[in-house]
Structure 1
């Protein structure tokens, strides 16, 4: 990129600088609450509660076990267990040591777990699976053995709070500050080569995102925040940590709640949850359940959609079900500390083909760039012109752990902003454009396919499919090779049914003939992966079985 183009990209960038404290530790926040109000209940998990004092005691116990096992600053520690207060205690114990948190998926095959342990060079696996998880523990030990990684089975929770343990836990051994560039956690994402990649995030990027949620959602000490995400989905980080900064309460929702809309709605009411972040599929389930039952969620004031594109048809269903509630549309990269934009959806936008993903969060800089095919040089896209989205600023992570090749393909020296606090730009493969100060997401560049000689974007077809009023969920895949390649529309009908011929007419009215799927697959529900997103691999298998 030339200096002239770099200056123009800087002029057109979306940015929102704000001076924030990015070095205070989360265990420092907990120690502050525990010293002031040790007996205040912080966590609700079914019938169980955890006070600030009890949680700090748990952190002290886990920290002691980790240190005894030889855990040191900079070590990568893989963590296996269910979403619980122990998750938070383990994360904070690792932070207090200066080690790196790596969550493992409880549903991962042993081969994937072993691959992640090897690729991350994890020094230790911390097992908090619980006493009734013999099969899961056996699989974990088998994977760790294959990778040559030690397993530390953590002890049981402390049974009682005592005055003495509160005082012991409050000693100044807790680090209240750390370097902003200290590595804090690593999440493994699916790689295009089939090999998982570990996105390594710094403390400053993590805390900046926590502040972004606090600022943009107006979070405070009267909120009850749902901790509902799978632990291998990066939104779990803000859900469990933001309440430590705001003094909010934390409501832990089990997988059983998240898999059944009626149970989810019931638990949200019982815990009086005020803030919830979901993927669009689960958001749709919840909206349909509220409409079906006629029982509102009066305490809920914010629902944020993330992980996949939020379509206007789903937003309309949401506002019919929860007209009193604000709906957020968030977008971002795991490699950049999670969400990078927050948009408050307005009812006036619901007739648009696509919803904007919004303005940037604090301290990120977003660029939309286009590449000149003749020269190979990048330049700034004009307002309204589609291009590839690049991210710079505080949230950009360090790269992919122990994977220089993958890092070199996605992370670049920031030649646009010489004052960038990280000096890095991230290129994530998402397309978009800027209009009126808002980023509009256009889908993944790697979902561009060629069928019968015609190049097309699958996301564009999906947008039209999901706009049909009788489609609850939908996705489009290209299957087969060469002349046998064809488009397949997979969808779940709305409760009042959906006629396939009407769907075909709907797409033919909006799309060129080559972009109208030739095969249709109606499903009672869409298969989801461990993060609650549409499982395209499972759909591909189902399509193959249908032949």
Structure 2
């Protein structure tokens, strides 16, 4: 079975209940950013082009080893031979777990070579979580990239799912797989990430190759990335931002520095590493940006971070006060407020924060990245004057076909509505979960986009003067805690399984910034 057997086709998605008149209004009001981009190459192909010109150029480093472009490409091809020997092929799902490091990046490139689909299975997860992810993803094998033997949680999780566990170390000495990457088309599923759900079962969001590559190009364009740049790879494997952090520098001949957890969660140690290894681009959740500023005060931050060009904040709302401190204390490094759902290949907006933004109570999340269409819509029966942070919609995503009065309407600038995303970035839906796919994904009525799909985010936004969007909160019970997407209903559903629990309600209470161990 391949991943395609677990996904809904475009014709099986519901149509958005919206009148022809409102379709035309939405088209006219949409935020769009067309941009030429070649979305047909595999990342491994781009890596090997750099390797052919300058094989000794540094590509990836972690806490224990460094790989040149030639060494990275060779390791990817050896791993591809191992994967094919173990049954991986076009459309199959290969899970990758273990420690974050250079081997994970080589494994991703190997999965591209054999035409399979990548799904992370973090070695720090409980074994039960690993079992669930492997089972629901339909993985044919689990590749353990750990350096010191088999990772216990991965081994137990693989046994629970009945999936073969293969160690990346077994590729040593194998010949490299010959030939080009098996890319059947830009719409080929490339990776799957599991997000929070409201039924106690996380959702496996599937992203296409073209969506992933478009996001990589968007980062290159908006951050003006070149071969001189180095990106800190800090995100756990289960986070969508880990994808671009691992791959984006390789598209332009730059460097990836995988930062181990011990350093990533120690602000001073992290800042020292950024300075010592000439890292130019960092992305953190706002909570960690705040801690970084706190821990570097009162000493000038430029002492350790003088070479930093960009800080991206994502995963949770960026407080205005944190942005104010960054602009004051780090004037040489731009601050980007980024926003996007996993289902749409990661970020769909970027906004470079300016001093003028600090007058707002909530910072803009910006304008669309390249080849992305954004629509702000509201239900026809919503009472909406543009001043509320609540869209007035229940967020149930039922996809009904009610009359025009109950259908969706385009919001004028300043009006609050729900954000819908179209364009090349929109993913394929949730693997094996057709009901929840139909709740969030629709046939795109607005444009003949490459995917033909429209994604309902569940986020309330409004367009500010000048066109930038402002995030105003959720229209459902989903929350973000330290960048982790959580459905309160999911937590309630899990607690409800305990035989001693009769009823349960989960709420979020803010006790201020906390530190990870």
TM-score, reference length from structure 1: 0.79
Aligned counterparts of 1:97 and 1:485: Cα–Cα separation in 2? 46
Distance 2:102 2:509 in 1: 41
1:424 matched residue in structure 2? 453
Q: Does 1:390 align with 2:425?
A: no
**Equivalent in the alignment of 1:409:** 439
SS state of the match for residue 107, structure 1? coil
What is the CA deviation profile of residues 343-388 of structure 1, one whole-angstrom value per residue up to 9, with x for unaligned ones? 0000121121010011100111000100023832001011110011
Q: 2:514 aligns with which of 526, 540, 543?
A: 526
For residue 51 of structure 2, give the secondary structure of its aligned residue in structure 1.
helix
Residue by residue over 1:66-114, the C-alpha shift from the partner in whole angstroms, topping out at 9 and shown as x without a partner, is 0111111100011111111101110000001110000012222222211
1:399 aligns with 2:429: yes
Query: Deviations 1:212-259 (Å, cap 9, x if unpaired)?
Result: 000001000111111111111111111111112111122121111111
Distance change in 2, residues 1:112/1:47 (3 Å): closer
8 Å contact from structure 1 (residues 42, 248) kept in 2? yes
Is the Cα–Cα contact under 8 Å of residues 431 and 445 in structure 1 kept in the other structure? yes
Aligned to 1:7: 24
1:318 shift after superposition: 1.5
Give the corresponding residue for 2:322: 314
Match of 2:77 in 1: 60
Larger RCO (CA within 8 A; separation ≥ 6): 2
The Cα RMSD (Å) is 2.7
Which residue matches 1:539?
none
**Cα distance change, pair 357–488 in 1 and its aligned pair in 2 (3 A):** closer
Q: Distance in 2 between matches of 1:347 and 1:178?
A: 46
Cα deviation, residue 141, structure 1? 2.1
3-state SS of the aligned residue for 2:297? helix
- 1:250 corresponds in structure 2 to 256
Q: Following TM superposition, by how much is the alpha carbon of 1:295 offset from its aligned partner in structure 2, in angstroms? A: 4.6
Q: How many residues align?
A: 459
How big is the shift at 1:154? 1.9
The runs of 5 or more residues in structure 2 that have no matched partner are: 1-17, 383-404, 482-487, 493-503
SS in 1 for 2:169: coil
Pick from 323, 342, 350 the counterpart of residue 350 of structure 2.
Answer: 342
DSSP-derived class of the 2:308 partner = coil
- Residues 1:197 and 2:203 are matched in the alignment: yes
Counterpart position of 2:267 = 261
Structure 2 CA distance for aligned equivalents of residues 485 and 44 of structure 1: 45
Q: Which residue of 2 aligns with 1:470?
A: none
8 Å CA contact 2:112–2:182 kept in 1: the answer is no
Query: After the TM superposition, which of the residue ranges 333-342 and 11-20 deviates more from structure 2?
Result: 11-20
CA displacement, residues 262-294 of structure 1 (integer Å, 9 cap, x when unaligned) = 111111111111111111011111122222333
- Say whether residues 1:369 and 2:377 are aligned partners: yes
Partner of 1:148: 162
> CA contact under 8 A between 1:287 and 1:322: conserved in structure 2?
no
Mapped contact 1:290–1:321 kept (Cα < 8 A): no
C-alpha distance in 1 between matches for 2:423 and 2:146: 37
- Give 1:138's match in structure 2, choosing from 152, 156, 166: 152
C-alpha change, 1:281 and 1:117, in structure 2 (3 Å) is same
1:320 shift after superposition: 2.8
| Alpha-carbon distance in 1 for matches of 2:203, 2:128 | 15
User: Displacement of 1:337 after TM fit?
Assistant: 0.2
Pairs within 5 Å for 1:88-127? 88-127=105-144
Residues 19-52 of structure 1 deviation map (CA, whole Å, 9 limit, x = unaligned): 2100111110111112221122222323632111
Q: Return 328-337 or 264-273, whichever deviates more.
A: 264-273
Q: Does 1:45 align with 2:86?
A: no
Residue 117 of structure 1: how far off its partner (Å): 1.4
Map of 1:453 onto structure 2: none
Aligned match for 2:308, one of 262, 283, 300: 300
Distance 1:397 1:488 in 2: 30
Q: Deviations over 1:409-463 (max 9, x none)?
A: 100011122x111110101211101122111111111149xxxxxxxxx99xx9x
Query: Which deviates further from its counterpart, 22-31 or 138-147?
Result: 138-147
Q: What residue is the counterpart of 2:213 in the other structure?
A: 207
> Tell me, which stretches of 5 or more residues in structure 1 are unaligned?
160-164, 449-457, 463-476, 493-524, 530-547
Shift of 1:395: 0.2
CA distance in 2, matches of 1:527, 1:407: 35
Alignment pair present for 1:358 and 2:366: yes
Question: Normalising by the residue count of structure 2, what TM-score does the alignment of the two structures yield?
Answer: 0.84
- What pairs with 1:70-81 in structure 2 (closer than 5 Å)? 70-81=87-98
Provide the residue aligned with 1:227 in structure 2. Answer: 233
Match of 1:22 among 39, 42, 46: 39
Q: Which residue does 2:3 correspond to in 1? A: none
Q: CA deviation at 1:151?
A: 1.3
Q: Does the CA contact (< 8 Å) of 1:28 and 1:176 recur in 2?
A: no
Change (3 A) 1:249 1:485: closer
Distance 1:177 1:401 in 2: 20
